[in-house]
Amino acid sequence: MSSEVVKQAVKIIRETDCPPLRIMEVCGTHTHEIFRLGIRSLLPEHVKLVSGPGCPVCVTPVEFIDEAVMLASEKGATICTFGDLVRVPGTKMSLAGARAQGARVVTVYSPLDAEEYARNHADEQVVFLSVGFETTTPSDCLSVRAAVANGTENFSLLTSNKTMPGAYDAMRTSADAFLYPGHVHAITGTALCRQLAEEGVSGVVAGFTAAELTVALATIIKRASEGKPFFENCYPRVVRDEGNPQAMGIITEYMEPCDAEWRGIGVIADSGLKLRERYESYDARLRFELPELHGRSNPACRCGEILRGACSPVDCPLFGRACTPEHPVGACMVSSEGTCSAYHMYGGDVR
């Protein structure tokens, strides 16, 4: 992207006469990058950025952590997970707390690493914590494919996979325009975004560089000034209209929709994914006969409101005091994509 294009985008941001705007960064990585790159300083006072539910660790409900702790502490399973989930608080403790009490919790870099760990530790029941959106779900499915192919019978998934369409619908009144997550739409394509625009929901798909984010925000401001709902793909080097049919096919082969709980939003119909019946032997909930749990988060924590754009981290009485990256109270402070961690790291204001 040329410097002239970026200069023109900055000019549009600073000079375009648009109505007051609330732009939701659906993606947690967008939140962090916009802070890190100083892009917020470009925006006029009447253009506000609010963070949304695009951090998979953050929207994972407390009871999922409780299930993982139960598997590790009471069922004797080895938990394999990405690092962010280890410190997310459950009702009574985090996985880090369970590990401190002797539970086996192993940090891995991919679901396939977890399947390999299971193959190399045949005397352990290994559970991978399958958390993520359409971007990472194909790799979770591939770990099941590998387990089938390798005859790895001591491997299963505890699923909390989610899909974005239901979240967009639930959040449609929370902002004037969405900054859609580029990585998700590289998988799913743009059909849903175009449909939402026809229904009056505006937004653009954005990349992650300074130039791409600046152009995306300028596009929103310019199009909003025209007074009509809109959609534009501002990440065409990665996102195509058709998405990635192969990746979507893998998801469809191994998983099917189910209702899912989103932290701060509630249950969204058909917004989750679970293993299909023919792969249910790899479903940790069924393998270990887990009871239905009802988690409880700290009542003073405002992560839920932050995830739906109803407040800013600085509005939370715990932020930067009782809740810090070293001692997180809520998931939004733990995750590398979390809004609270971004505000704490970069000194976020209320804009």
On the question of pLDDT at 348 being above 80, the answer is: no
pLDDT in tens, 233-249: 999 999 999 999 999 99
pLDDT confidence bin for 336, thresholds 50/70/90: confident
- The predicted model gives 270-296 an average pLDDT of 96
pLDDT in tens, 109-167: 999 999 999 999 999 999 999 999 999 999 999 999 999 999 999 999 999 999 999 99
On the question of pLDDT at 23 being above 60, the answer is: yes
* CA quadruple 198, 216, 228, 46: dihedral, nearest 10: 130
On the question of pLDDT at 187 being above 60, the answer is: yes
Q: How far apart are CA 56 and CA 27, in angstroms?
A: 9
On the question of pLDDT at 351 being above 70, the answer is: no
Say what the pLDDT of residue 247 is: 98
- Inter-CA distances, 330 with 4, 159, 346, Å: 42, 20, 18
DSSP state of 177: E
Which element (helix H / strand E) includes 262?
A: strand 255-262
67 forms beta bridges with none
On the question of pLDDT at 17 being above 50, the answer is: yes
Say what the pLDDT of residue 350 is: 40
Q: How far apart are CA 189 and CA 332, in angstroms?
A: 27
| Residue 312 burial class via C-beta count within 10 angstroms: exposed 0-12, middle 13-18, buried 19 and up | buried
Say what the pLDDT of residue 3 is: 85
For 114-170, give the DSSP string. HHHHHHH-TTS-EEEEEEE-TTTHHHHHHHHHHHHHHT-TTEEEEEEEE-HHHHHHH
pLDDT in tens, 293-325: 999 999 999 999 999 888 999 999 999 999 999
Q: How far apart are CA 108 and CA 111, in angstroms?
A: 7
SS3 category, 37: coil
What Rg do the C-alpha atoms of the chain give, in angstroms? 21
DSSP state of 290: P
Mean pLDDT, rounded, of the chain: 95
| Residue 113 burial class via C-beta count within 10 angstroms: exposed 0-12, middle 13-18, buried 19 and up | middle
Alpha helices in the chain (DSSP H): 3-15, 28-36, 56-59, 62-73, 83-86, 95-100, 111-120, 137-150, 164-170, 182-188, 191-198, 210-224, 245-254, 284-287, 303-307, 331-334, 339-346
Tokens of 221: 């401001």
Percent of the chain with pLDDT over 90: 93
Say what the pLDDT of residue 2 is: 81
On the question of pLDDT at 349 being above 60, the answer is: no
- Inter-CA distances, 133 with 183, 270, 284, Å: 10, 13, 19
For 64-97, give the DSSP string. HHHHHHHHHHTS-PEEEE-HHHHTS--SS--HHH
Tokens of 31: 């939140």
pLDDT in tens, 25-69: 999 999 999 999 999 999 999 999 999 998 999 999 999 999 999
SS3 category, 242: coil
Percent of the chain with pLDDT over 70: 99
